[in-house]
Amino acid sequence: MMRLVLLGFIFSFLISCDSEPQLVELAGEALGTGYRVQFYSSERFEVVEKFDSTIAAINKSMSTYLEDSDISKINDGDTTIVIEPMFRDVLALSRKIYNATDGYFDPTVGILVNAYGFGPEKQIKVLDSVVLDSLRAYVGLDKIKLSREGRIIKENKAVYLDFNSIAKGYSIDRLGKMLENNGVENYLIELGGELFAKGKNLDKNQTWRVGIENIDSPLNNREFTEAVELQNRGMAGSGNYRKFRIDSTTGKRYVHTINPLTGKAEKSDILSATVIATTCAEADGFATAFMALGLEKSKQVLNRHQDIEAYFIYADKDSTAIFKSKGFSNFIVK
């Protein structure tokens, strides 16, 4: 459940319809993480209620943590569910990223996520090669079809859909559309580190500015390696750099990411992936895939998709280094 706190003033008594746009700030919790939005509006609307209803609709459709959500019912074998438009959008976008990353982004990896103890289902204590091979048989977005009526057809009932690696980004996009439908042209939405910016910061008369976190900064005093200008773009990051391991032979830092093609938690030299795309959902999905792909394969994907920009912090021998895609520098504040 989303809990929003209105900062500074009560929006329902904010302004008359003919006044200049004024800044509104909201903060709270949504989808199990922190949330903040800033936007400018000159008209009244029930913003808290609309935010609540948007998040509730997304949860009802795609939250694996709700037993009565559509996705949970589908995962439990219910074949009568006709998916609603948001579910259809996310499935289509997931398939696009799945194909673009040669299967490294895969929402059917949920059965492995659960097996490793990172999802809502019970962890499997002994994950040997035999068990992984058996689970791997249920992974692959090509094992999911959509009927003409809008029902999910699974190749095997054990196939488990999990959109958590794209849900935050998609939620931000939907919240942005809600604001736009209510006349808002300038806003910045942040949810658990994922962002979408539209228009500009009117108070400063400049493009919205956000930061890329320094992976070596302490959790209680976060620092940023770069300031980024965002306008009509989404930005998302992925990384488990605070849970890295040191190779005892080389001294090199690695993170372990589940590879959907092998089912194993494999070493990745990318410690942090930050992606800029036209939607936050795309940025979210590609950032997840890059963590599993590793540096060299990620570069190949970026070369094929010029509309995606990325900033990687990666392990290089016994230290870290930075890679920026060709167009990423255009977003960095000079």
**Contacts with 260 (C-beta within 8 Å, 6 or more apart), sequence order:** 103, 104, 105, 106, 108, 109, 112, 139, 140, 292
Which candidate, 74, 59, 53, 52, places its Cα nearest to that of 4?
A: 52
50 three-class SS: helix
Q: How far apart are CA 108 and CA 59, in angstroms?
A: 18
Residues 221 and 251: their CA atoms lie apart, in Å, by 26
List, as residue ranges, the binding site.
165, 284, 288
Partnered with residue 122 across adjacent β-strands are none
CA distances from 272 to 46, 236, 238, 317 (A): 37, 11, 6, 16
Annotated binding site for Mg(2+): 165, 284, 288
Pairing outcome for strands 208-213 and 245-246:
unpaired
Nearest to 114 by CA among 95, 91, 143, 139: 139
